[in-house]
A and B are shown apart, each in its own frame.
Chain A
């Protein structure tokens, strides 16, 4: 009876595993390591897994042997021995020695992971609800990195792309062969920056900065995810790192810096321009769709009480000054509503406020100019 059931069990497990192994996507092990540390971790894991598997086979070999042979139904009579100090000492000391053997290479890797001295470059990584911000401390480049997967794919109205949930608008770009020190923190709650191919995972703790380092060997695109529950879109704030040759990296840096000076030139123009209602609403609709919709919903219904409704809402239909204040400076009561002055330009904020006051059934007809936002920042 037992043999029959064991056979069924084993066949079932093989079918399950086999049907899985047949497909390329069914990964059974850690991701392909792309840094020295990731290699060391991969190797450590393999060795320890094999040791555990050997111990497992020996120990359960003995147990299954006993289950088979030392049964009443095959006529085996129970011996009555018990207690044996020698055996107890042996099976305490031998496992202890095996553990010491595992701890030695593990210690070496812990110390290597912690040695972030003499990096070639430093990047500050800040976790936000629910995106990442990257600040290249040596190059004065910074940008936000948001999930780029369209909402239609998540809601099953469009087929899912190859990098579903693992694609962003602005990836982190790093040169290969250089030691990159990432200084990780967070803006609101604890997040965790994790790129499996690098063997790097470091929690971003608000108010503190902790670092981790990596040196990528091969050019490529490496994807990871936030690894600490941070609220509703914890599963929707991936990390994408593009490791490129040093020349390509320098090109990219130059590009970013010229974009930046163009943007500041543009906002200097914005500051003095007076926009029409339609221009502001169009800008605002873009901003809303990218930034606000996750919490306040496409129809402005929100999810009260944490994410108030904008449709007919007190702030969106009340005095303009209060509406500006909450978008620019965030909410004191509700930390989920951050100070958008740090992430959006005057034009973007002016646009989105105008849009909100004239959409979702709100028909206030008023508009807000970028220069009002510039004034509110002071």
Chain B
């Protein structure tokens, strides 16, 4: 190819812009990965500030800091920003950096589409965040945007809907890119069952995204037309049904939460074998488990709706299907432990986060199983038990997996080892404060505290105080990561090609940091 020729002659960067324009026009998967990761970190800190404001208000009973209507804006925007601004783009950043390197491809299949997929996000984020300034403030309907409440909201709701459309388009484009890259650009000899598990996890996640992002777009568009164009999709008086919004939303929403965890499973599956110095125990089982989880994720959505009044047959079906997901998830946990078993483990920060992930994510899995039991869910739905559950799987799950991946691949990306002592501090502080914050929320939910409330009865005061203290500890600990990343970019001990003793895979055959263009000639994989 012409581009490849030009680069081989060594005038690689003569025609590449520098400075800001480099970042605006880049079609390079490494640059774009970096952009996604910084974007997601900024959104993570923004969503975190909203969370700390929430926890500050909930520190004591009574209203001290914010009014109830603003409180609901905070809970809604915290959710939307973390889901769509922090977690999802972070995983896409990993996909961009790592997939071409791991399959021996020079870049993604559609490099310009890749640029667009990223650059749609900052305007969408600005639209979402500035909705706080709209008359009436940001939408306060919860990140789940149930109608008819969402139909009642002010213009901030419309801004959020458009932001979601833009972010959805970005995800769909990115997924098309990822699938095409993985299916077509693997190095010769790398069959699908020889791909690194991280690549498998993204292949499956990308299909999930293409399947469900349009469904979310449909749901929020129907809310938009109910709001402005006199449709009655969710209004019984016009022949519609508010519960239909929930069906459509959760048909997206449930696969969405698997979209947010599957790449995390992939990252952990790379890290554990490396630090155990032992191959992944059951490669094909792990692939089947990922696929089963993905397929099952389409048939469990109404477990978010056990209290709407669906007939017993519906409740039973969704209870059984949801319980089933525990089986492939358990298979993964057992395989990770079997990988560690009789290995020769060391506990650098990536391994700490990966092991911590298994421990705490599994706790979230157990509370998920408890919530799957319909009669128990009747008591726990819309309480702090659910808040505890999803923070265990999303923070201790997805976020810790992302942290693990950052520590694992940062030396490769930057060429410098990060400060291991600081990394360990970040791990332990995060682990401890995370549990202080969220473990007590299980008790709050069991005791009867509902979600999305700015104030609460006196019997909930003590655990709320503990949770708020933990939240501030957890939030401040993340500044340590920021410092550590900046310090690592600026310098540190030189990283080898194969940064970690037990690391396997094509990314460890290129220098740290890799040249701007890698694998211009595909390697041969045996």
Interchain CB contact (< 8 A) of B370 among A49, A205, A305: A49
Q: How many A-B residue pairs have CB under 8 A?
A: 315
B154 touching A305, Cβ below 8 Å: yes
User: Would A59 and B342 be within 8 Å (CB), given that A82-B278, A83-B281, A164-B457 are in contact?
Assistant: no
Interchain CB contact (< 8 A) of A88 among B319, B331, B382, B383: B331
Chain A residues, CB < 8 A from B454: 235
A30 touching B379, Cβ below 8 Å: yes
Chain B residues, CB < 8 A from A114: 311-312, 315
Cα distance A200–B278 in the bound complex, in angstroms: 51
Question: Which chain B residues (363-418) contact chain A, with CB distance < 8 Å?
Answer: 363, 366, 369-370, 373-376, 378-379, 381-383
**In the assembled complex, A25 has its CB within 8 A of some CB on chain B:** yes
Interchain CB contact (< 8 A) of A227 among B154, B381, B439: B381
Give the residue name and chain of the A residue nearest to B345 (CB): A71
Question: Which chain B residues (477-502) contact chain A, with CB distance < 8 Å?
Answer: 502
Q: Mark A173-215, 1 if CB is under 8 A from B, else 0.
A: 0000000000010001110101010011111011110110000
Interchain CB contact (< 8 A) of B340 among A55, A67, A304: A67
- Give chain A nearest CB distance to B9 CB in angstroms: 44
Cα distance A208–B309 in the bound complex, in angstroms: 10
B344 touching A70, Cβ below 8 Å: yes
Interchain CB contact (< 8 A) of A199 among B243, B333, B375, B428: B375
Q: Is the interface of A mostly helix, strand, loop or mixed?
A: mixed
Q: Mark A152-171, 1 if CB is under 8 A from B, else 0.
A: 01111000101111100000
- Give chain B nearest CB distance to A208 CB in angstroms: 6
User: Would A201 and B378 be within 8 Å (CB), given that A52-B370, A78-B344, A230-B149 are in contact?
Assistant: yes
Interchain CB contact (< 8 A) of A232 among B64, B69, B148, B315: B69
Chain B residues, CB < 8 A from A155: 62-63
Residue in B326, B337, B339, B375 with the greatest tally of chain A CB atoms within 10 Å: B375
Cα distance A70–B275 in the bound complex, in angstroms: 11
**In the assembled complex, B267 has its CB within 8 A of some CB on chain A:** no
A160 touching B307, Cβ below 8 Å: no
**In the assembled complex, B191 has its CB within 8 A of some CB on chain A:** no
**In the assembled complex, B435 has its CB within 8 A of some CB on chain A:** yes
B344 touching A76, Cβ below 8 Å: yes
Residue in B149, B277, B435 with the greatest tally of chain A CB atoms within 10 Å: B149
- Give chain A nearest CB distance to B23 CB in angstroms: 39
Q: Is the interface of B mostly helix, strand, loop or mixed?
A: helix
**In the assembled complex, A286 has its CB within 8 A of some CB on chain B:** no
Q: Mark B304-342, 1 if CB is under 8 A from A, else 0.
A: 000111011001100110011011101101100111111
B379 touching A41, Cβ below 8 Å: yes
Cα distance A75–B72 in the bound complex, in angstroms: 55
**In the assembled complex, A113 has its CB within 8 A of some CB on chain B:** yes
Cα distance A203–B463 in the bound complex, in angstroms: 27
**In the assembled complex, B180 has its CB within 8 A of some CB on chain A:** no
**In the assembled complex, A341 has its CB within 8 A of some CB on chain B:** no
User: Would A29 and B446 be within 8 Å (CB), given that A23-B462, A70-B343, A229-B146 are in contact?
Assistant: yes
Chain B residues, CB < 8 A from A9: 431-432
Chain A residues, CB < 8 A from B243: 205, 208
Chain B residues, CB < 8 A from A71: 344-347
A52 touching B440, Cβ below 8 Å: no
Question: Which of the 9-residue segments B85-93, B234-242, B507-515 touches chain A?
Answer: B234-242
**In the assembled complex, A14 has its CB within 8 A of some CB on chain B:** no
B432 touching A12, Cβ below 8 Å: yes
Question: Which of the 9-residue segments A100-108, A266-274, A364-372 touches chain B?
Answer: A100-108
User: Would A192 and B382 be within 8 Å (CB), given that A26-B463, A203-B308 are in contact?
Assistant: yes
B375 touching A166, Cβ below 8 Å: no
Chain B residues, CB < 8 A from A154: 62-63, 455
| Count of chain B residues near A, Cβ 8 A | 106
B68 touching A227, Cβ below 8 Å: no
**In the assembled complex, A77 has its CB within 8 A of some CB on chain B:** yes
Q: Mark A37-70, 1 if CB is under 8 A from B, else 0.
A: 1001100110011001001100110110011001
Cα distance A225–B461 in the bound complex, in angstroms: 16
- Give chain A nearest CB distance to B477 CB in angstroms: 15
Cα distance A153–B455 in the bound complex, in angstroms: 11
B461 touching A235, Cβ below 8 Å: no
- Give chain A nearest CB distance to B55 CB in angstroms: 16
Question: Which chain B residues (413-462) contact chain A, with CB distance < 8 Å?
Answer: 428, 431-432, 435-436, 439-440, 443, 446-448, 450-459, 461-462
**In the assembled complex, B358 has its CB within 8 A of some CB on chain A:** yes
- Give chain A nearest CB distance to B312 CB in angstroms: 4
**In the assembled complex, B466 has its CB within 8 A of some CB on chain A:** yes
**In the assembled complex, B359 has its CB within 8 A of some CB on chain A:** yes
Chain B residues, CB < 8 A from A52: 366, 369-370
A82 touching B280, Cβ below 8 Å: yes
A210 touching B308, Cβ below 8 Å: yes
A99 touching B307, Cβ below 8 Å: no
**In the assembled complex, B362 has its CB within 8 A of some CB on chain A:** yes
Q: Mark A138-154, 1 if CB is under 8 A from B, else 0.
A: 00000000000000011
**In the assembled complex, A111 has its CB within 8 A of some CB on chain B:** yes
Chain B residues, CB < 8 A from A305: 135-136, 154
- Give chain A nearest CB distance to B327 CB in angstroms: 5
User: Would A110 and B319 be within 8 Å (CB), given that A188-B148, A190-B149, A235-B456 are in contact?
Assistant: yes
User: Would A26 and B443 be within 8 Å (CB), given that A106-B375, A164-B61 are in contact?
Assistant: yes
**In the assembled complex, B110 has its CB within 8 A of some CB on chain A:** no
A76 touching B309, Cβ below 8 Å: no
Interchain CB contact (< 8 A) of A306 among B136, B327, B448, B455: B136
**In the assembled complex, A226 has its CB within 8 A of some CB on chain B:** yes
Cα distance A208–B149 in the bound complex, in angstroms: 16
- Give chain B nearest CB distance to A88 CB in angstroms: 5
Q: Mark B286-318, 1 if CB is under 8 A from A, else 0.
A: 000000000000000000000111011001100
Interchain CB contact (< 8 A) of A110 among B148, B316, B334, B428: B316
Chain A residues, CB < 8 A from B358: 63
User: Would A156 and B342 be within 8 Å (CB), given that A31-B447, A41-B375 are in contact?
Assistant: no
30 pairs, A vs B, C-beta closer than 8 Å: A13-B435, A20-B462, A44-B373, A44-B376, A48-B373, A59-B337, A62-B341, A66-B345, A76-B343, A76-B345, A77-B344, A79-B342, A92-B328, A106-B373, A106-B375, A110-B312, A110-B319, A114-B312, A160-B458, A164-B457, A188-B152, A194-B382, A202-B309, A206-B236, A207-B235, A208-B242, A228-B307, A231-B69, A304-B135, A306-B154
10 closest A-B pairs by beta carbon, nearest first, are A207-B236, A210-B309, A235-B453, A27-B447, A78-B344, A232-B69, A109-B375, A78-B277, A227-B382, A114-B312
A: residues with CB less than 8 A from B are 2, 5, 9, 12-13, 16, 20, 23, 25-31, 37, 40-41, 44-45, 48-49, 52, 55-56, 59-60, 62-63, 66-67, 70-73, 76-84, 87-88, 91-92, 95-96, 99, 102-103, 106-107, 109-111, 113-114, 153-156, 160, 162-166, 184, 188-190, 192, 194, 196, 199-203, 205-208, 210-211, 224-236, 303-306, 335-336
